[in-house]
Structure 1
């Protein structure tokens, strides 16, 4: 059953005895006074539908602890120790000085209950209500979007380790799997962990081992093809699917082989959407630049740039077009539009613009035609740096040097030649480039210049033209867009140290991100003088 905080204080109440030691204007002091106002026990009643059993820790206390845990980036054991031994935590959570705290598993219990509920992110929702009622976003029509990579909680595995781990998992999970491994797998003793003992410096030894492991995987999948279909679901299906995936994603036929002779080698390329660990199958390789390669997940955020208040967040896989910066920003835009349509937005007219109009700021990663069109369709303004244009020849002609007539369906080149646009939106100049005096500035291809037009070519051209011609647009970008980088830094760092995720999978890590952004927003509001008067949240006049 749900526990409720007592209205009366205990004899050794921490706030009454040592509350004066906790600095005012900070998160600990604020939660000591207002945790029940922010995290109302009634909002958590559905987590404990039964009125029987031992009372839980009060929801207002546990919600505060979960927020403090993510803000301070503590493990469950460290959090339980802080709640037991740190006076600030006792004051913030209303515990008496002699309270023995709780077992670390209590935090797991609460996160699971929240995850299985209809409102798994209600802690974040509670803080958003405080943000809305405080009025800090009223009249502020700018939103800036950005993302960062957060390292996953597991070690990246190489191909050989993944193959062995996937086969071992089949042996543990699939009915009859262990027996099948003994019967058909010969490359390694899969009943013990670790890699096989081979001479890793011997040429060809690794490819020989890879061939043997891939053949074992294929033989095991074939042997288990007759597993009762009623049992091939959940963990069983996942184990078999993972084995099939890792047996194919990183290997290719050996030199001089088509794969039918059982000779394989590690592929000389990285598979798209490659699984990098059998422990966390949703972690991915990614990179911010060719030099900065990272493994993990991508945390996306939308924020009001002047106040730093986070208005939306999402944690996704680090790879995949559906998880790109522009795609997730489109989701933020859609959610913001739906919220405004539902009457939950209170944006006022600013500088003569229509009420509700937003300015969306983003770097060139957000400069896709689809996102620009979506922002325009929503009646908003895109202040997004265009993606830089490349040229087949250094310093040569870019696509903007070619004129496009969508109505006529033609493309004209700098030399005055015109070609039709195909159904696949390609204009091939081919033989027209032969003998052209501008060829050396245009292409190195023997077959001539080929122009591939984006579906949103018109929007992208206009964006590049406006950016080049409008210094005020560039000034707005330079003034407001960089502010979101501070928000991203707060999400990804703690005390000068880069954070490492503590959970596996996008669902759990997204839940962590919502709690962290809730804590950052609440801390931000406290810094702006958040007060509660007559049951309402407000900011002090000096900071509003």
Structure 2
């Protein structure tokens, strides 16, 4: 398709007249056109379209339609119907009242062009640039970050259903490309075994029957892959995505011993973060947070929190559900720095706080403000907590609260890949100690061992834990609470909880456009003078007497 019009067209006189009559107070779509038309100029998307061929729908108009689609939670078909039937949308895009709009598949093609051209975040960035130009975006002050779980557009499968459904998906994909080749290599029983979705069948419940079922599926899958990678197999079937999924699932769930395929025991399985949840979305993973589990993704939202300007989302990150929040702290700050939006104070909850992140933020000139996780060991309840030991870093010696000193100092790397120091006290000094059981914390231990982070990290975490006990620190940290309202708005009003698409790139696209829509809604509320809604208090809470 060729590009005849880049941005939004002029508003036809009749469309403007009827819109003013029908919507005398205006509508959100109309205000977007009037206040933020420069965001949808479409110039950033012009290189995604050819100059030859039949005319295409203006990319600026498609960007505006996509934003409105996410604001109202519409499907592609419903959004195309809104362009054809709604006066406020015609006003926003600049269409005649009699214009029939476009086919809904155009929106899917537009998203594909944005993803292929790596311009998924263009509208999000343009909204922030507009807000900055108008003095409504202050990024050098405070910003806050939190994450929310996102349910993938899949059904999470257990291991039995996963292997069966992966084989079924590969068979369906091959049948569409090389039906005759496949029909000559399968048994009649396969049609009953893999003809329907595995989760719709009654999988065996007893351990013995489950072992027999997994062995049968494993042998069938290995037989199929042997045929697929034989010299006489069609080349096009090897390049199919479901075939690669089948290979990965078999590697992670089966092992070959003496020419036979065996089901992997739990102890021999790869880490959960490497195990897919479904053959239809290889990026989705299982996650657990606040006592609940899900299959899908995590979205990390960062927003400004200044009292004299609207709170605007400045950064969006989408990860699979297995990624810990602390792994994202430095990545978020680095991305903000690259876009010249690094804050002076970065507020986050305890999941984002560790010694390494605190020091990395300080090197970037950022104060990472959040509660460090407390020491939850048995010794921490008494006077023999790790912080009660005196550390002489120069001499590499540690003295316990009872005055015993040790120089058994061993640099190590823990299970998370963090460099630590393991300090051990001697048996001969700990056994006679009357506080041995209180210090060691076990009924069989004969000496105390402690693990320390390296000097700068050790000091940073101790200072953070001391500061968070003060009233001043708690008052400053209260500013973080508003991010939970942003997450709630994204989930309740903009459908952020569920992924519309499969795959991390498309899910991230959804989050970027959702964040852009939320920012535009907040800018619209700010420019129209709509006051912020205060914290909701239940009727029962209003009965609480004042302190």
Tell whether the structures are fold-level matches, with TM greater than 0.5: yes
Name the counterpart of 2:484.
485
Matches within 5 A, 1:437-456: 437-442=434-439, 443-444=441-442, 446-447=444-445, 448-455=447-454, 456=457
Match of 1:374 among 356, 360, 377: 360
Structure 1: tracts of 5 or more residues without a match: 346-355, 531-538
Matches within 5 A, 1:13-412: 13=15, 15-22=16-23, 24=25, 27-34=28-35, 36-50=37-51, 52-138=52-138, 141-172=141-172, 188-189=190-191, 192-195=195-198, 200-202=204-206, 204-226=208-230, 235-236=239-240, 238-250=241-253, 264=263, 267=266, 271-273=271-273, 274-289=275-290, 291-306=291-306, 307-320=310-323, 324-340=324-340, 358-392=344-378, 395-396=381-382, 397-412=384-399
- Does the residue aligned with 1:528 lie in a helix, a strand or coil? helix
- Does the residue aligned with 1:426 lie in a helix, a strand or coil? strand
Name the counterpart of 1:476.
476
Compared CA separation, residues 315 and 368, structure 1 to 2 (3 A): same
Moved more, 173-182 or 442-451: 173-182
Separation in 1, partners of 2:154, 2:139: 44
Match of 2:425 among 413, 429, 434: 429
Deviations 1:153-209 (Å, cap 9, x if unpaired)? 111122222212222344455698996897588985465233397773555212221
Compared CA separation, residues 207 and 454, structure 1 to 2 (3 A): farther
- Does the residue aligned with 2:347 lie in a helix, a strand or coil? strand
Separation in 2, partners of 1:54, 1:510: 31
**Equivalent residues of 2:84, 2:99 under 8 A apart:** yes
Name the counterpart of 2:533.
none
Separation in 2, partners of 1:159, 1:362: 35
Moved more, 73-82 or 269-278: 269-278
Structure 2: tracts of 5 or more residues without a match: 413-420, 531-547
Deviations 1:297-345 (Å, cap 9, x if unpaired)? 100111112332111111111113xxx32332312211232333xxxx6
**Equivalent residues of 2:83, 2:89 under 8 A apart:** yes
Separation in 1, partners of 2:226, 2:431: 56
**Equivalent residues of 1:180, 1:223 under 8 A apart:** no
Q: What's the TM-score once normalised by structure 1's chain length? A: 0.82
Deviations 1:205-238 (Å, cap 9, x if unpaired)? 12221222233334444554545899599844x5
Moved more, 63-72 or 392-401: 392-401
Compared CA separation, residues 412 and 234, structure 1 to 2 (3 A): farther
**Equivalent residues of 1:404, 1:411 under 8 A apart:** yes
- Does the residue aligned with 1:285 lie in a helix, a strand or coil? strand
- C-alpha RMSD of matched pairs (Å): 3.5
Name the counterpart of 2:534.
none
Offset of residue 120 of structure 1: 3.2
Name the counterpart of 2:460.
459
Offset of residue 63 of structure 1: 1.2
Structure having the larger proportion of residues in helix: 2
Compared CA separation, residues 55 and 28, structure 1 to 2 (3 A): same
- Does the residue aligned with 1:421 lie in a helix, a strand or coil? strand
Compared CA separation, residues 184 and 326, structure 1 to 2 (3 A): same
Match of 1:521 among 519, 522, 545: 519
Offset of residue 41 of structure 1: 3.2
